Amino acid sequence: LNELLEHEQDLPSTTTDDYTMPLMVNTGLAVDAVALLKNRISGVGLYRTEVPFMITERFPGEKEQTRLYRDQLEGFSPLPVVMRTLDIGGDKDLPYFPIDEANPFLGWRGMRVTLDHPEVLMVQLRAMLKASQGLDNLHVLFPMITNVAEVDEALRLMDRAIVELGEEGMAVRRPRVGVMIEVPATLYQMDALAKRVDFFSVGSNDLTQYFLAVDRNNPRVSDLYDALHPALLTALDKLARDARRLNRPITLCGELAGDPAGALLLMAMGFTGLSMNAPSLPKVRAAIRRVSFSDARTLLVEVMGKDTPDEVHQHLRERMTQWQ
């Protein structure tokens, strides 16, 4: 399928009525195809910094991290690169930093770990800021935010890193900062969060598991794990509306963005960008190029009237075949 769609890949992700949906990629390790990708995307919507940390034998030092981040920022410049601070715990363990818990997804994860270890976060923030010298595309994203106080604390550390670097003779500005919306509580803290940050990024993988109380990796309950559950569609629609009201960009970087039908629904809701793994780009771009924005709006209204995930999926299957 991807080969068939290859010839479309240098065309814009624009609907038949001229609405452009910015597509971005998720990265982790060094991307070889940067040059090729660059013409086809609007930026890196999620750089998972824990990925390089998973293949080293200890926490990479400031110099090493600076080099890694510089490669990403420089490689994709002038496109924006959203760098997420370390998101370990849950299913992502570092061999040299084991976390042993009965309920890791409800435990010490993401920002909870790095706020308890500010020395780890400080090195990371300093490295990101150093790496962005002379460039203007660094965006920093905080994962697993549950409380607004965590954002305040993270920003305090960011400002401290900026002051430190200033004292060392390196003048840096505060980059744009965003939070992941992946814990359901944050759905109802959008106003308070918008006072503190510049953008939102929805982690639909985790939001789905926490919203539906279904472990994202447990095959026994995988039938229940569904990002298109009607309740979740309502939640995503609310998030897009809130972000628009608060005048903040909102992107989605979970697997849902890489699903063509999901992407059309998110576009119709008003998401300002979709970030996905590079192999999903062709099919998502193709789906967008085959519909009008108003088709996508109609589709959204239709599926939001459904009562069950099965009805949502059946309806999407029918419509998507029509548009192939």
Partner from Mg ion, ligand PEP, none binding residue 48, C-beta < 5-8 Å depending on class: ligand PEP
Q: How many CA atoms lie within 13 A of 237 on its CB side?
A: 16
CA distance 253 to 245: 21
Among 45, 109, 182, 272, binds ligand PEP (CB under 6 A): 182
- Looking at residue 280, what DSSP letter applies? G
Q: Going by DSSP bridges, is the β-strand pair 23-27/250-252 parallel, antiparallel, or unpaired?
A: unpaired
Partner from ligand PEP, Mg ion, none binding residue 298, C-beta < 5-8 Å depending on class: none
Q: How many CA atoms lie within 13 A of 54 on its CB side?
A: 13
Does 206 bind Mg ion (CB under 5 A)? Our answer is: yes
Q: Choose the stretch contacting Mg ion; rule: CB under 5 A; options: 37-45, 67-75, 120-128, 198-206.
A: 198-206
CA distance 130 to 66: 6
CB of 82 to ligand PEP, least distance (A): 11
- Structure token pair of residue 262: 């999901």
CB of 182 to ligand PEP, least distance (A): 5
CB of 87 to Mg ion, least distance (A): 6
Q: Choose the stretch contacting ligand PEP; rule: CB under 6 A; options: 16-24, 191-199, 200-208, 294-302.
A: 200-208
CB of 120 to ligand PEP, least distance (A): 18
Does 266 bind ligand PEP (CB under 6 A)? Our answer is: no
Does 254 bind ligand PEP (CB under 6 A)? Our answer is: yes
The CA-based angle 75-77-83, given to 5 degrees, is 80
**What are residue 100's phi and psi, to 5 degrees?**
-115, 110
- Looking at residue 150, what DSSP letter applies? H
CB of 112 to Mg ion, least distance (A): 13
Does 253 bind ligand PEP (CB under 6 A)? Our answer is: yes
Which lies closer to Mg ion via its Cβ, residue 182 or residue 215? Answer: 182
Q: Is 188 exposed, middle or buried (0-12, 13-18, 19+ CB in 10 A)?
A: exposed
CA 303 to chain centre: 24
Among 178, 203, 282, 309, binds Mg ion (CB under 5 A): 203
Interface contacts to ligand PEP, rule CB under 6 A = 46, 48, 87, 182, 203-206, 253-254
Interface contacts to Mg ion, rule CB under 5 A = 182, 203, 206
